[in-house]
Structure 1
Amino acid sequence: MAHTYSTSVRVEAPADVVWQVLSDVERMPAWTGAMSRVTLLGPERAIVVGSRVEIEQPGLPAATWEVDGLTEGQGFSWSSSGTPGVRTGAAHRITPLPGAGPDGSAACDVTTVVARSGMLAGLTDLSAGPRGRELADALLADLKSEAELRARNKP
């Protein structure tokens, strides 16, 4: 049985700006407290399907994640088997809402879904789930702030 958590936020910024922020994973610690360190482990300097990424988050053990899905400008998913008996996956999706801003500017919804599966998923969700949900919420709140700041400062 999978244990799933989904959280969303409306961002008053164009989807391309949100994508620039979200997809530059190594810079995440510069704009969110939800990530302590993010390091691409391969030679590529941008995420692609197959990229391996080491992530440290406050209150959770470091883990290596692999990008297993990516649609340029729309989102990506990655997964980790860092805990024996558990597979954790996370997907980040950007859904444009053209003309949705109060002044007719573009906006979008951003959704993060985290799912744990495997024999020990329930136990892991009991111990690490609350912190993981808190970090997912913080990541989206900080993404909203950073993307909206960049959109306001865009020439």
Structure 2
Amino acid sequence: MRFETGAAIAAKPGDVWQAMAGITQWPEFNPVMKRVERLDDGDFGVGSKARVEQPGMPKMVWEVTEFEDGESFVWRTKSPGVTTVGGHAVRAEGDGAHVTLWVEQSGPLAPLIALISGARTRRYVETELSSLKTRTEQT
């Protein structure tokens, strides 16, 4: 299963990036994030890990696998039978920014997980995008 969404945001790309990459602050403005806890010190980048707690889902540890400062990051989590990869990207567009978010699940249990929680996953990604848009357009 892969789900991708995107939107124009009336904010500077750098401001959007700060909110997007400031993962521990997500619960302040994103209702589908109960808690995000960094599990390491230092700058956020490849190898960074975070424990993410979302309503109705088990706590998951995500690890950043790709990182372009100011532009994008991709992270991954694994559970028995499924690997979930999430992408976050921002680019300049006109006087503002354009954000793309995506999530992809693979593995032998991915079809079952998509059947059980695919609608929730899509709703959570859409909520993450709309929350980011609201947060960054207000500042």
TM over 0.5: yes
Question: SS of the counterpart of 1:65?
Answer: strand
Deviation at 1:43, TM superposition (A): 1.9
**Residue segments in structure 2 that go unaligned for 5+ positions in a row:** none
1:67 equivalent in alignment to 2:56: no
Aligned residues: 139
Counterpart selection for 1:80 from 56, 77, 100: 77
Instruction: State the identity %.
Output: 32
Counterpart selection for 1:9 from 7, 10, 23: 7
User: With structure 2 as the length reference, what TM-score do the two structures score?
Assistant: 0.97
Counterpart selection for 2:47 from 37, 50, 75: 50
Q: Distance in 2 between matches of 1:39 and 1:47?
A: 12
The structure with the largest alpha-carbon Rg is 1
Contact 1:85 1:121 in 2 (8 A): yes
User: With structure 1 as the length reference, what TM-score do the two structures score?
Assistant: 0.87
1:116 equivalent in alignment to 2:116: no
Contact 1:13 1:108 in 2 (8 A): yes
**Residue segments in structure 1 that go unaligned for 5+ positions in a row:** 101-105, 151-155
Q: Distance in 2 between matches of 1:115 and 1:13?
A: 27
Counterpart selection for 1:131 from 120, 125, 129: 120
Letter in 1 for 2:134: S
Deviation at 1:34, TM superposition (A): 1.6
Deviation at 1:109, TM superposition (A): 1.0
Could you report, residue by residue, the CA deviation over 1:31-66 in whole angstroms, capped at 9, with x for unpaired residues? 11021100000122x421001110011121110000
Find runs of 4+ consecutive structure 1 residues off by over 2 angstroms.
Answer: none
Contact 1:32 1:142 in 2 (8 A): yes
Q: Give 1 or 2: higher strand fraction.
A: 2
